[in-house]
């Protein structure tokens, strides 16, 4: 069968853009990126809610091959990150590879010639040697089922559906959820609304956010002296390495962790909220690190405003006019905002299309029956020539770091296949099983599986109670191993003569 492309990449967010550029640099030029929407950017295209920003310092939230010394501030806002991605796409001429408004229904492996057929939503097909899933996980919103929500006469929407037409000024707003998104939205909209009610199920730990604007002089200094900029990056990377190691190795340092990990967050809360009763409601009963760490220096103090109320009694149901708490209190609202996160390890979310390999089960069915697993975070046995840019046990604090690490490994595998003239690459089942057991064992030491995290409702924990989303090794270790680890866990099968 004739190939339409050597590589099909699905998704034009950070992962798909990075995959195209890194593959291109290594000589894989016959590729296409399939993007279901009409622009690049993924998360940073879709999330336009007030206050949206990166939650780690901007210095490291970028491709290593395209440093940006001109970030405006320590924690870049969403529009600036989107502009950065547009800049990268233009500089590296990525648009020539992208097919916009092209949704994928499913992909099927062809045993006869070791190719994949990608079947699009419009019924058309593409044949390729490889498929790389670069769809991410934070795009399919969770809207909890609450009794009576269909009867509400006001407007309601999830934060991912925020746009310029969404008018909240002088309205009574109810925000359901207090996760990382709410931490940004709440202080951003509080000054504009008539009254803001924040419905909290689980409080969140917040470290202080030392966010400040960089002067033009400082940006010029970094631009003209890349070495100084790199020093700044290394400091931030060192902090991420230490934080990640501590979270991953909680069992080794549990006493130290409990004693010191919450000092800054507790001081942050105490400094912003002098009222002990309110402070108690905002204090989590789980350890710092159970959920993804968040940063803010103005979320807590927003609750000191006269037009902001914290509702921690739980939601009984939604009425025509608003929300009724479990204590029977009815709160009249004009708008309900769901800040309730996204599906992550749920069946059918990643990838969000069917993957039919050489197994009996489709990929999502395989994971559903056999637990969320992969080899080196990028491959799954029985799905040859198929790769994940963000597979199980690889998610860390910095998406870019995880992405480039996984891509380095994927490209090594693809280059070896080309060198050996092997049109089929699959994972050896025994090698995979050993690797998976090692990951499961290592994950047991992570803080997310500690009893003190049981009340955190962390999205890192899947339906089986496993810490299958987050990385269990430090970013530096994974980066090194991606470049030097043996490829003997793969089977490179040559075409029959």
For domain 5-139+344-493, the question of CATH label 3.30.465.10 is answered with no
Q: How confident is the model at residue 274 (pLDDT cuts 50, 70, 90)?
A: very high
Give the total residue count for the chain.
497
Q: β-strands 354-356, 172-176: how paired?
A: unpaired
* Residue tagged 């803001």 (tokens): 196
User: Which residues lie across from 174 on neighbouring strands?
Assistant: 197, 336
Point out the least confidently predicted range of 39-48, 155-164, 229-238, 255-264: 255-264
Lowest mean pLDDT among 153-162, 340-349, 399-408, 473-482: 340-349
Contact 333, 306 (CB under 8 A): no
pLDDT of residue 395: 92
pLDDT at residue number 459: 87
pLDDT at 330 over 90: yes
The whole-angstrom separation of Cα 52 and Cα 80 is 10
Whole-number Cα distances in Å, 114 to 125, 420, 429, 466? 16, 15, 19, 34
Q: Which residues have CB under 8 Å from 335's CB, separation 6+?
A: 154, 155, 156, 168, 171, 172, 173, 174
Burial group, residue 451, by CB count within 10 angstroms (0-12, 13-18, 19+): exposed
Phi, psi of 470 (to 5 degrees): -75, 155
User: Among 265, 262, 299, 239, which Cα is nearest to 51's?
Assistant: 299
CATH architecture of the domain 149-205+290-338 equals: 3-Layer(bba) Sandwich (3.50)
By CB atoms closer than 10 A (0-12, 13-18, 19+), residue 263 is: exposed
Q: The tokens 């996204």 sit on which residue?
A: 342
Distance, in Å, from the CA atom of 180 to the CA atom of 168, rounded to the nearest integer, reads: 20
Report yes or no: 133 and 386 within 8 Å, Cβ to Cβ.
yes
Residue in the structure block whose two tokens are 């940063």: 295
- Confidence tier at 350 by pLDDT (50, 70, 90): confident
175 membership: H or E segment, kind and range: strand 172-176
- Residue 24 tokens read as 């291109």
- Judged against a pLDDT cut of 60, whether residue 92 lies above it is answered with yes
At 310 the pLDDT is 98
Instruction: Using the predicted structure, report yes or no on whether residue 189 has a pLDDT greater than 80.
Output: yes
Task: Give, for 402, the enclosing helix (H) or strand (E).
Answer: helix 399-419
Say if residues 339 and 140 touch (Cβ distance below 8 Å).
Answer: no
pLDDT exceeding 90 applies to what percent of the chain?
Answer: 91
Distance CA 407, CA 377 (A): 10
> Mean of the pLDDT values across residues 366-380?
96
Average pLDDT of every residue of the chain: 95
Peptide bond into 351 cis (omega under 30): yes
User: What residues does each domain of the chain span?
Assistant: 5-139+344-493, 149-205+290-338
Quick check: 52 and 184 in contact, CB under 8 A?
yes
Angle between helices 226-248 and 216-224 (to 10 degrees): 100
Q: Distance between CA atoms of 151 and 173, rounded to whole angstroms?
A: 17
d(CA 82, CA 84): 5
Determine the Cα–Cα distance for residues 110 and 357; give it in Å rounded to an integer. 8
- Our CA dihedral for 90, 387, 445, 466, rounded to 10 degrees, sits at 110
If DSSP codes are grouped into helix, strand and coil, which group holds residue 432? helix
pLDDT digits (tens, 9 = 90+) for 395-425: 989 999 999 999 999 999 999 999 999 999 9
Helices marked H in 273-398: 276-282, 299-302, 363-370
Q: Do domains 5-139+344-493 and 149-205+290-338 have the same CATH topology?
A: yes
Helix ranges, 199-339 (H): 216-224, 226-248, 254-260, 263-272, 276-282, 299-302
pLDDT of residue 497 exceeding 60, the answer is no
The reported pLDDT for the residue numbered 152 is: 98
Least confidently predicted of 180-189, 195-204, 289-298: 289-298
């Amino acid at each position: 069968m004739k190939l339409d492309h050597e590589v099909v990449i699905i998704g034009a967010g950070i992962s798909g853009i990075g995959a195209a550029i890194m593959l291109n640099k290594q000589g894989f030029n016959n590729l296409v990126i399939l993007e279901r929407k009409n622009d690049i950017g993924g998360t940073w295209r879709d999330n336009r809610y007030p206050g949206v920003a990166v939650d780690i310092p901007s210095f490291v939230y970028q491709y290593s091959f395209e440093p940006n010394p001109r970030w405006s501030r320590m924690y870049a806002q969403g529009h600036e990150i989107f502009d950065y991605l547009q800049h990268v796409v233009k500089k590296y001429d990525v648009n020539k590879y992208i097919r916009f408004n092209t949704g994928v229904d499913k992909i099927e492996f062809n045993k006869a010639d070791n190719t994949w057929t990608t079947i699009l939503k419009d019924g058309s097909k593409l044949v390729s040697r490889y498929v790389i899933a670069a769809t991410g996980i934070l795009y399919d919103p969770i809207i909890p089922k609450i009794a009576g929500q269909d009867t509400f006469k006001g407007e309601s929407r999830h934060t991912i559906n925020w746009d310029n037409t969404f008018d909240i000024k002088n309205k009574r707003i109810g925000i359901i959820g207090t996760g990382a998104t709410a931490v940004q939205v709440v202080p951003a909209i509080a000054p504009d609304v008539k009254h803001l009610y924040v419905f909290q199920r689980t409080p969140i730990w917040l470290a202080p956010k030392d966010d400040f604007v960089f002067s033009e002089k400082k940006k010029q200094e970094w631009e003209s002296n890349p070495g100084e900029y790199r020093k700044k990056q290394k400091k931030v990377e060192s902090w991420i390495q230490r934080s990640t190691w501590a979270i991953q190795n909680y069992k080794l340092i549990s006493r130290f962790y409990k004693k010191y990990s919450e000092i800054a967050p507790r001081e942050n809360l105490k400094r912003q909220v002098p009222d002990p009763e309110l402070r108690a409601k905002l204090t989590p009963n789980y350890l710092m690190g159970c959920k993804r760490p968040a940063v803010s220096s103005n979320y807590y103090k927003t609750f000191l405003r006269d037009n902001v109320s914290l509702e921690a009694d739980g939601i009984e149901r939604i009425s025509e006019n608003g929300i009724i708490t479990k204590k029977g209190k009815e709160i009249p609202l004009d708008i309900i905002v769901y800040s309730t996160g996204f599906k992550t390890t749920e069946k059918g979310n990643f990838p969000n299309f069917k993957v039919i390999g050489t197994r009996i089960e489709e990929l999502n069915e395989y994971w559903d029956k056999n637990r969320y697993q992969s080899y080196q975070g990028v491959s799954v046995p029985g799905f040859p020539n198929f790769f994940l840019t963000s597979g199980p046990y690889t998610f860390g604090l910095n998406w870019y770091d995880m992405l480039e690490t996984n891509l380095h490994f994927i490209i090594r595998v693809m280059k070896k296949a080309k060198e050996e003239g092997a049109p089929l690459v699959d994972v050896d089942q025994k090698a995979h099983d050993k690797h998976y057991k090692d990951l499961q064992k290592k994950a047991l030491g992570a803080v997310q599986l500690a009893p003190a995290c049981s009340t955190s409702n962390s999205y890192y924990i899947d339906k089986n109670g496993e810490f299958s989303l987050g990385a269990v090794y430090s970013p530096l270790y994974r980066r090194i191993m991606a470049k030097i680890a043996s490829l003997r866990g793969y089977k490179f099968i040559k075409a029959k003569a």
